[in-house]
Amino acid sequence: MKRLISILGMVCILVIISACQNDTETKIGQEALNTEESLEEKSSIDVQDDNENESTENDGTEPDDSNSNESESNDQESNNTSESDEQGTNDSNNSNETTNENDAVVVDDPTAMDVVVNKDRKLPEGYEPPDLTVPDVEFHVVAEERKYMRAESANALESLFQAASEAGHQLVGISGYRSQQTQAAVFASNVERNGREHALQYSAQPGHSEHQTGLTMDVSTASNDYALTESFGQTPAGQWVADHAHEHGFVIRYPKGKSHITGYGYEPWHLRYFGESIATEIYEAGLTVEEYYGLVE
Ligand SMILES: [Zn+2]
């Protein structure tokens, strides 16, 4: 009997995983809509979430014709992408030093609003943020879990979206909280499809995703097809976000051209809450989070 139950359990898990994959694949047509999670599932690219994932997605997603006047910058972005991809490789090289992720630093206070999580710094095993809540903003998400943020950052997101709206930009929440279990499932699915070595190299390990802090939201707009793409940064809404996110406590966590520092490609959509004063300092200094906290080697 026990055996039967465990077999049934396995079947359920397999069905869920394959449903996710199917979901991802059926979205290829609307890849622009893809959120980072589908990316992760789809391509095994890196990580933390979005990152290189989206960069890669961008390669396939941003049709040249739709961005003809951006083609130059797209080219640039493609270069960035290569850089990001390389970054992935570099990271694995680096991981020869820090090697397996067991060597990563576990952050002291995962509940701190200014906690820094990256490829070298992870959340404690099984960490779940307190006070998760759903901000009262418009969403375009595939999974309910992704709507959550910690209360303080959720309030700040509401204020950001309100200000954006007043400026004529209708932001939409795409992907917020991601539990360690979700990240683990993404990682496991990657291992299943690409092998462990590949997954280790390109997929975010549970505990290393900024989304697990509950302090992050990926945003887009209907006019950007709800896409998490570099092109969002060139839209009026994306530019407004870049100029004003800090006023509401958010930082564009992975700025352009800083992948060698942050470990991730340019992500104009990935907003990380640090609180207004820190976010403003980071913005005004033009630094990455890693530089601001002196975490650059
Ligand atoms: Zn993100």
Q: What is the spatial distance between Cα 283 and Cα 239, in angstroms, rounded to a whole number?
A: 14
Ligand 1 centroid–CA 270 distance in Å is: 4
C-alpha span between 183 and 189 (Å, rounded) = 10
pLDDT at 294: 96
DSSP single-letter state for residue 62: S
Distance 106 CA to ligand 1 centre (A): 20
DSSP code for 251: E
- Is 172 part of any domain? yes
Residue 178 CA to residue 197 CA, distance in Å, equals 23
Tens of pLDDT, residue by residue over 101-121, are 567 899 999 999 999 999 899
CA of 49 to the centre of ligand 1 (A): 6
Task: Tell me how far the alpha carbon of residue 295 lies from the centroid of ligand 1, in angstroms.
Answer: 20
Q: How far is the CA of 5 from the centre of ligand 1 (A)?
A: 36
- Tell me which residue of 116, 112, 114, 113 sits closest to 104, measured CA to CA: 116
**CATH number of the domain within which 153 lies:** 3.30.1380.10
Q: Is 4 domain-assigned?
A: no
Ligand 1 center from residue 50 Cα (angstroms):
5
Q: With respect to residue 56, please indicate whether it lies within any of the assigned structural domains.
A: yes
Residues 210-234 as b or e (16 or more Cβ within 10 Å = b) = bbbbbbbbbbbbeebbbbbbbbbbb
Assigned domain for 202 exists:
yes
Query: What gap in Å lies between CA 115 and CA 18, rounded to an integer?
Result: 34
* Ligand 1 midpoint to CA 216 (Å): 7
- How many angstroms separate the CA atoms of 147 and 214, rounded? 10
Q: How far, in Å, from the CA of 28 to the mean position of ligand 1?
A: 19
Q: Which pTM does this prediction carry? A: 0.68
* Distance of CA 1 from the midpoint of ligand 1 (Å): 43
Domain presence at residue 23? no
The answer to whether residue 16 sits within a structural domain is no
CB 78 within 8 A of CB 230: no
- Give the pLDDT confidence score for residue 202 in this predicted structure: 57
Q: How far is the CA of 11 from the centre of ligand 1 (A)?
A: 30
Identify the pLDDT of residue 200: 65
The whole-number pLDDT of residue 183 equals 85
| Domain that residue 98 falls in | 28-292
9 in a structural domain: no
Q: Is residue 78 a part of any domain in this protein?
A: yes
**CA 9–ligand 1 middle distance (angstroms):** 31
DSSP H helices, 212-269, are 236-244, 259-262
- Residue closest to 153 by CA, chosen among 250, 219, 228: 250
How many CA within 13 A on the CB side of residue 234?
Answer: 13
Between CA 285 and CA 171 the distance in angstroms is 26
The count of domains in the chain is 1
Cα 65 to ligand 1 centroid, rounded to whole Å: 26
Query: Which residue numbers in the chain have pLDDT < 50?
Result: 11-100
What is the CA 140 to chain-centroid distance, rounded? Answer: 15
